[in-house]
């Protein structure tokens, strides 16, 4: 059971877009903000307890430095997965770490990053997603963001926009990666602990030639070169991508879009294969289409992120 729990924890802690994707989506969103919204967002971000870390290695000029921090803030919920100050509260043997100044607690909140909306193409029994997921938390965050900004010295709170801003940036990015909206059940895929059907954990248990797994393949579909020049080039590319439905600002629909893409394309290689011994060989056509979809979703996510922030901070 301990081995299975550890494997589950590893799988469920996987990122959506990698740091490259999250930074690019947030960077484009930041560039689309009005001066008024940008000023308010900057002020909130400067109050974050990890602002020094977020600004580290950024440009020397103040405007470029806070923009850089905003982009890195979109990666912050992934960064803390490996930060010893934080702990995985979902583990059966979890031990809370000391709460650091400026934080409501030190939970990693790994279950905020995804929603396992299940499907099966072979009649395998499926299970509903857990109640705490990216959709439930985005609903709470977007209802709260901008309404409550804790003044310095008054103490942190989970409902504080200072704490929630990086989460909003990250989860909006997450939910536009199709593999964070889906999980597949199929025959022969059984939980050894319960002998019941087991999901593929958002593609984390499907091995792919040339990539660790299907989820990781999609995480990296916007690129893996995490340099400022590459990220800025990706931002410029995404800014020119034609998008539709950018005005749809309901997270439930964002999830439905990702789920539909996953069902219609992501798993189009079929039900067979995907074990470590028999990994899936994705075709060049599949890889090219995946990159096209990833760029479309990232461009759309950036515009929706900008619209969400504008509505809350542009007044």
For 123-181, write each residue's pLDDT tens digit.
999 999 999 999 999 999 999 898 766 554 455 566 789 999 999 999 999 999 999 99
How many separate domains does the chain show? 1
Q: Indicate if the pLDDT at residue 25 is higher than 70.
A: yes
**pLDDT given at position 154:** 52
* Interstrand relation of 183-185 and 190-191 (parallel, antiparallel or unpaired): unpaired
**pLDDT given at position 190:** 84
| Interval 176-197: pLDDT, tens | 999 999 999 999 888 888 888 8
Give bridge partners of residue 225 from the DSSP assignment. Answer: none
Strand extents, DSSP E, the chain: 118-120, 183-185, 190-191, 196-197
Domain span at 15: 2-313
**pLDDT given at position 192:** 80
Please give the residue that has the higher pLDDT: either 180 or 198: 180
pTM for the model stands at 0.92
DSSP collapsed to 3 states, 229-279: HHHHHHHHHHHCCCCCCCCCCCHHHHHHHHHHHHHHHHCCCCCCCCCCCCC
Rounded average pLDDT over 211-235:
96
CB atoms within 10 A of CB 153: 5
Instruction: Tell me how far CA of residue 182 lies from CA of 129, 247, 256, in angstroms.
Output: 9, 23, 9
CATH number, domain containing residue 146: 1.10.575.10
**pLDDT given at position 231:** 98
Q: Cα–Cα distance between 28 and 299 in angstroms, integer?
A: 8
Q: Cα–Cα distance between 232 and 28 in angstroms, integer?
A: 9
**Joined tokens for residue 172:** 């909006």
**pLDDT given at position 8:** 39
The DSSP output letter for 59 is -
**pLDDT given at position 4:** 35
**pLDDT given at position 16:** 67
Q: Are 163 and 103 in contact (CB under 8 A)?
A: yes
Q: Which residues contact 244 (CB under 8 A, 6 or more apart)?
A: 300
């Amino acid at each position: 059971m301990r081995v299975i729990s550890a494997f589950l924890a590893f799988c469920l802690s996987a990122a959506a877009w990698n740091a490259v994707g999250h930074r690019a989506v947030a960077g484009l969103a930041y560039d689309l903000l009005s001066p008024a919204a940008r000023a308010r967002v900057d002020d909130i971000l400067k109050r974050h307890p990890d602002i020094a870390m977020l600004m580290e290695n950024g440009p020397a000029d103040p405007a470029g430095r806070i923009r850089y921090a905003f982009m890195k803030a979109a990666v912050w919920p992934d960064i803390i997965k490996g930060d010893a100050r934080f702990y995985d509260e979902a583990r059966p043997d979890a031990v809370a770490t000391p709460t650091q100044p400026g934080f409501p607690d030190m939970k990693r909140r790994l279950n905020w990053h995804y929603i396992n909306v299940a499907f099966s193409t072979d009649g395998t029994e499926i299970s509903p997603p857990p109640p705490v997921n990216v959709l439930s938390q985005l609903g709470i965050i977007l209802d709260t963001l901008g309404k409550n900004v804790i003044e310095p010295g008054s103490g942190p709170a989970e409902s504080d926009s200072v704490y929630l801003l990086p989460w909003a940036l990250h989860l909006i990015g997450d939910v536009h990666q199709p593999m964070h909206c889906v999980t597949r059940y199929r025959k022969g895929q059984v939980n050894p602990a319960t002998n019941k059907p087991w999901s593929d954990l958002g593609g984390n248990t499907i091995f792919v030639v040339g990539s660790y797994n299907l989820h990781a393949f999609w995480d990296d579909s916007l690129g893996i070169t995490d340099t400022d020049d590459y990220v800025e080039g990706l931002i410029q590319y995404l800014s020119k991508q034609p998008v539709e439905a950018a005005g749809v600002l309901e997270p439930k629909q964002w999830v439905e879009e990702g789920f539909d893409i996953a069902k219609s394309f992501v798993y189009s290689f079929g039900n067979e294969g995907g074990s470590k011994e028999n990994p899936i060989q994705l075709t060049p056509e599949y890889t090219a289409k995946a990159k096209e979809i990833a760029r479309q979703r990232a461009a759309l996510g950036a515009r929706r992120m900008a619209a969400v922030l504008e509505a809350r901070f542009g007044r």
